[in-house]
């Protein structure tokens, strides 16, 4: 049993192969070649030669169509982006308005308490006594 363990080959761990990526030029070249195919079976031969699947063509055609539509779409005029902190400024202005409303409400309540104490004849402590 010792001999069989010594004779067994070492286990190999192969590195993970990188996924193929295609540049826009390569995609366009292949799509143009597929469009030029006229004989039945020529597209499948091209796919085998390039090592591709038909799903690649479908996906690339959709990408090309979306890119063409995006290029033809109307673009907004004027500055592309406002100040980077515009969102933060808007949030701070909203918070300031909220706090201002709360402060006005608190002042109104204090004024009401003063009038009520005057009507009832109660003496309110002054700021120095608190």
pLDDT tens figures, 82-113: 677 888 888 999 999 999 999 999 999 999 98
Domain ranges for the chain: 21-72, 92-122
Residue pointed to by tokens 């038909």: 54
**Band of residue 118 on the pLDDT scale cut at 50, 70, 90:** confident
Residue 126 has pLDDT above 60, yes or no: yes
Q: Model's pTM, two decimal places?
A: 0.48
How far apart are the C-alpha atoms of 28 and 15, rounded to whole Å? 31
CB atoms within 10 A of CB 86: 10
């Amino acid at each position: 049993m010792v001999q069989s363990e010594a004779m067994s080959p070492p286990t190999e761990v192969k590195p993970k192969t990188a996924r193929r990526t295609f540049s826009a030029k390569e995609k366009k070249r292949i799509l143009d070649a597929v469009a030029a195919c006229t004989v039945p079976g020529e597209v499948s031969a091209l796919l085998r030669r390039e090592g591709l699947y038909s799903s690649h063509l479908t996906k690339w055609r959709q990408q090309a169509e979306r890119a063409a539509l995006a290029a033809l779409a109307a673009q907004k005029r004027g500055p592309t982006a406002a100040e980077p902190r515009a969102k933060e400024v808007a949030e701070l202005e909203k918070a300031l308005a909220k706090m201002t409303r709360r402060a006005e409400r608190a002042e109104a309540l204090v004024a009401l308490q003063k009038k009520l104490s005057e009507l009832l004849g109660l003496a309110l402590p002054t700021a120095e006594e608190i």
